[in-house]
């Protein structure tokens, strides 16, 4: 008996997917079975892409994520949580590949969707805005990054307060971009506040609220 072994796990997934399509074409599976198997294939692609991303194999991860997004978008819709999950992972991969305009486009679109579906102050919305700011920062679009970092900082101050590590990180992010813009006095003020609040968090002197 001849056994064909794929050297890559995701290649085996593609072979499995093609075999499923042939079965559907010849009537061996129902449309419902087909949908279920397509979604399973998309989930496997997403999982494998996450592993490839961790291993630094960004082009391979991008290819698998685009396949997963195509299936999830068709089967579940563009605003489904799983579709958005794959798109968010794709944006991370694009940033790692230094495809910054593409990453920005993904994050901007995701941000609009999350604001409409989850709300302005939802954790996923804030995270996406923060990641967009990071891409803008890396692309040296400092004024735009500053604007987004300021929004994130205001949200975190309002939601979790000044004595929280997320808020502290937001202050440091804002201070960093202000320095690069030459706004040294503003940057120093944010750094001093971050240092003060950080000490209170570290030594447990946070006021009761």
DSSP string, 44-91: HHHHHHHHHHHTT-HHHHHHHHHHHHHHHHHHH-TTSHHHHHHHHHHH
For residue 199, what pLDDT is reported? 87
Query: 128-164: per-residue pLDDT in tens?
Result: 999 999 999 999 999 999 999 999 999 999 999 999 9
Query: 9-66: per-residue pLDDT in tens?
Result: 555 555 555 555 554 444 444 445 588 999 999 999 999 999 999 999 999 999 999 9
Distance of CA 198 to the CA centre of its chain: 27
3-state class of 181 per DSSP? coil
Q: Where do the domains of the chain lie?
A: 129-202
CA–CA distance, 100 with 82 (Å, rounded to integer): 23
- Provide CATH code, domain 129-202: 1.25.40
């Amino acid at each position: 008996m001849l056994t064909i072994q794929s050297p890559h796990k995701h290649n085996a997934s593609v072979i499995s997917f093609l075999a499923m399509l042939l079965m559907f074409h010849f009537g061996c599976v129902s449309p419902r079975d087909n949908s279920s198997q397509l979604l399973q294939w998309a989930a496997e692609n997403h999982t494998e892409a996450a592993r490839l991303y961790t291993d630094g194999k960004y082009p391979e991860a991008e290819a698998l994520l685009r396949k997963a997004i195509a299936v999830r978008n068709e089967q579940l819709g563009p605003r489904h949580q799983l579709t958005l999950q794959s798109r968010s992972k794709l944006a991370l991969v694009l940033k790692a590949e230094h495809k910054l305009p593409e990453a920005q486009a993904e994050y901007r679109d995701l941000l609009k969707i999350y604001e409409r579906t989850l709300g302005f102050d939802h954790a996923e919305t804030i995270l996406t805005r923060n990641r967009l700011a990071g891409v803008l920062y890396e692309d040296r679009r400092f004024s735009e990054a500053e604007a987004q970092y300021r929004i994130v900082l205001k949200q975190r101050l309002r939601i979790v307060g000044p004595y929280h590590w997320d808020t502290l990180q937001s202050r440091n992010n804002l201070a960093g971009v202000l320095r690069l813009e030459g706004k040294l006095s503003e940057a120093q003020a944010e750094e001093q506040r971050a240092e003060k609040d950080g000490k209170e968090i570290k030594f447990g002197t946070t006021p009761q609220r």
